[in-house]
A and B are shown apart, each in its own frame.
Chain A
Amino acid sequence: MSSPFDHQPDHELGAALRAALDAGDNHAFVQRVTAAGGSQLAEPSGVWWGVLGPWARPGMAAALALIAAMGFWLGNRSLRGGVAAELDDPIQAAGGLLEVPALLAGQTAPDMDVVLGVALGR
Chain B
Amino acid sequence: MRNSDMQDGELAALAAAGDREAFGVLVERYAGAARRLARSILGDPDDADDAAQDGFLSALRHLGRYDPSRPFGPWLMRIVANAASDRRRRRTVRQTQPLAPELAAGRSSPAVETERRSIQEALHGALAALPERQRMAVVLFDVEGYSHREIASILGVPDGTVRSDVFHARRSLRSAMAPWKGWKESES
Contact = CB atoms under 8 A, between A and B. Distances in A.
Interface magnitude class on chain B:
35 or more
Name the residue among A13, A30, A32, A46 with the largest chain B CB count within 10 angstroms. Answer: A13
A14 B20 contact: no
Contacts of A47: 16-18
Interface string A10-54: 111111111111110010011011101110110000110111010
Contact of B187 (A15, A30, A37, A49): A15
Contacts of A5: 167
Interface string A42-72: 0000110111010000000000000000000
Nearest to A4: B170
Contacts of A49: 61
B36 A40 contact: no
Given A17-B123, A18-B36, A33-B31, A23 B139 contact: no
B131 interface: no
Contact of A21 (B40, B171, B184): B40
Nearest to B21: A34
Interface magnitude class on chain A:
35 or more
Contact of B142 (A14, A30, A33): A14
A9 interface: yes
A14 B127 CA distance: 12
Interface stretch (B52-60, B87-95, B104-112): B52-60
A70 to B, nearest CB: 32
Contacts of B27: 30, 33-34, 37
Nearest to B46: A23
Contact of B36 (A2, A22, A36): A22
B60 A13 contact: no
Contacts of A37: 20, 23-24, 27, 56-57, 60
B123 A26 contact: no
